[in-house]
């Protein structure tokens, strides 16, 4: 559906200019500098209005932001015209004062709603993401797409992100001793607990037999080490039915972490480096984090 609001705003502005030409007298001495500076602001606002894009399934947020910018646009246009035409005091009061304040308040509220919507977007996207049937985490394909977006963003804006590879240490042992039903339950339980220890903007996915992979947005070396330690601790306290008979309340995991670097040429570079860190974590005796 074509968005006609920007065109209607421009048409309203043209009508306002036409009314001034037809009914108001010109001032004798035009302040050219003030008129040009105010006209530049007006032009910037109409450009913003045309650049605004509606939010899918959230038309109310767009309408608020549009209304705020539109009222500010009309108010500042009237202010610019006041440098050229002799406006009645009532016009100045209505357009330059009341409408300007109203536009500013509506815009502030609309921007806040836009911010709240932006904060909810990652969790909403994760909620509708295709799920891995075993763990109910976003599937591998979704993870790769998400991590690739983070990689592209890193290349554009130099915002660092991190990749973690988490390996469940006892997976092979329990597969032999207790069967796949228990290991599947173990993976599912850990997936749900691990998801509680990352932010809504981060993604954890089931990667392979006994591995999970995590993408941490805007995260550096120091920060991803702290997250990895939380994930390791969560495994130690994982509650599994009938597992206490093995003499331990939970399981252990080994975690390899890496942050993006300027020289990285692809997402595979990060994943490969995270695996190198994982192998070091395993080499030192498992149940450890190598960041």
Q: Which of 175, 212, 170 is nearest to 194 (CA)?
A: 212
Q: Which residues pair with 287 in a beta bridge?
A: none
Query: Is residue 286 pLDDT above 80, yes or no?
Result: yes
The pairing of beta strand 211-216 with beta strand 253-259:
unpaired
The three-state secondary structure class of 29 is: coil
Q: 141 Cβ partners below 8 Å, 6+ apart?
A: 130
Q: Which of 277, 243, 257 is nearest to 198 (CA)?
A: 257
Q: How confident is the model at residue 13 (pLDDT cuts 50, 70, 90)?
A: very high
pLDDT tens digits, one per residue of 98-142: 899 999 999 999 888 877 766 555 555 555 567 888 888 888 888
Residue 264 in tokens: 């990285």
- For the chain, give percent helix, strand, coil, nearest 5: 60, 10, 25
In the chain, CATH 3.30.70.270 covers 129-290
**CATH classification for the domain delimited by 129-290, as one of 3.40.630.30, 3.30.450.20, 3.40.50.300, 3.30.70.270:** 3.30.70.270
Q: Residue 188: enclosing H or E segment and its boundaries?
A: helix 180-195
pTM of the predicted model as reported, rounded to 2 decimal places? 0.61
Highest mean pLDDT among 152-156, 260-264, 276-280: 276-280
Q: What is the predicted pLDDT for the residue at 205?
A: 92
CA dihedral 281, 287, 290, 291 (to 10 degrees): 160
Q: What is the predicted pLDDT for the residue at 132?
A: 82
Residues 251 and 185: beta-carbon distance below 8 Å: no
Q: 105 Cβ partners below 8 Å, 6+ apart?
A: 68
Phi, psi of 279 (to 5 degrees): -60, -35
pLDDT tens digits, one per residue of 143-171: 998 899 889 888 888 888 999 999 999 88
The three-state secondary structure class of 207 is: strand
Q: How confident is the model at residue 211 (pLDDT cuts 50, 70, 90)?
A: very high
Residues 256 and 171: beta-carbon distance below 8 Å: no
Q: Which segments of 29-169 does DSSP mark as H helices, in order?
A: 32-51, 59-81, 89-91, 99-128, 140-157
Mean pLDDT of 206-214: 92
């Amino acid at each position: 559906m074509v968005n006609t609001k920007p065109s209607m705003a421009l048409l309203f502005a043209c009508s306002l200019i036409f009314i001034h030409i037809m009914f108001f007298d010109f001032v004798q001495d035009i302040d050219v500098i003030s008129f040009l500076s105010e006209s530049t602001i007006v032009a910037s606002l109409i450009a913003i209005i045309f650049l605004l894009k509606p939010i899918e399934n959230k038309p109310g947020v767009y309408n608020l932001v549009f209304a705020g910018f539109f009222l500010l646009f009309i108010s500042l246009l009237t202010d610019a015209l006041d440098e050229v035409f002799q406006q009645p005091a009532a016009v100045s009061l209505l357009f330059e004062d009341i409408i300007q304040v109203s536009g500013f308040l509506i815009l502030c509220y609309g921007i806040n709603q836009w911010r709240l919507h932006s904060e909810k977007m990652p969790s909403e996207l994760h909620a509708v993401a295709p799920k891995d049937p075993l763990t109910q985490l976003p599937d591998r394909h979704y993870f790769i797409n998400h991590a690739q977006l983070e990689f592209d963003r890193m290349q554009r804006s130099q915002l660092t992100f991190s990749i973690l590879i988490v390996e469940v240490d006892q997976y092979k042992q329990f597969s032999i001793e207790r069967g796949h039903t228990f290991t599947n339950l173990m993976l599912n339980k850990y997936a749900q607990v691990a998801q509680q220890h990352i932010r809504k903007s981060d993604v954890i996915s089931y990667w392979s037999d006994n591995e999970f992979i995590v993408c941490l947005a805007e995260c550096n070396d120091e920060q991803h080490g702290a997250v990895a330690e939380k994930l390791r601790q969560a495994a130690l306290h994982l509650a599994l039915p009938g597992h206490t008979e093995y003499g331990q309340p939970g399981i252990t995991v080994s975690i390899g972490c890496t942050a993006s670097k300027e020289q990285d040429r692809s997402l595979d570079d990060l994943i490969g480096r995270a695996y190198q860190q994982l192998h070091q974590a395993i080499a030192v005796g498992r149940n450890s984090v190598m960041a």
